[in-house]
Amino acid sequence: MDIQRLITMANQIGDFYESYPDPAQAEQGIAEHINRFWALAMRQQIAHHVSQQAGVGLHVPVQKAIAAHLKI
């Protein structure tokens, strides 16, 4: 899948969790959603983007969620 599409989708998930008062809880929610609903190949691709491209284009909470909680 196109990395730009994955970035857009991940940021949309992050936008939903932005209203959470606890940033750690928001990050956990973002990661749980991605882990539950994204295929392994999609998770691997976004994780690679975070590790190799510093997550360019991703909102900071999304970058943190992927780096800390993503299951690949």
pLDDT at 60: 97
pLDDT digits 0-9 by tens, 6-52: 999 999 999 999 999 999 999 999 999 999 999 999 999 999 999 99
- Determine the pLDDT at residue 72: 87
- Distance linking the first and last C-alpha atoms of the chain: 16
Domain ranges of the chain: 3-69
The confidence score (pLDDT) of residue 19 equals 94
Q: Which candidate, 21, 19, 11, places its Cα nearest to that of 65? A: 11
Span 47-68, mean pLDDT?
97
CA gap 35, 45 in Å, rounded: 13
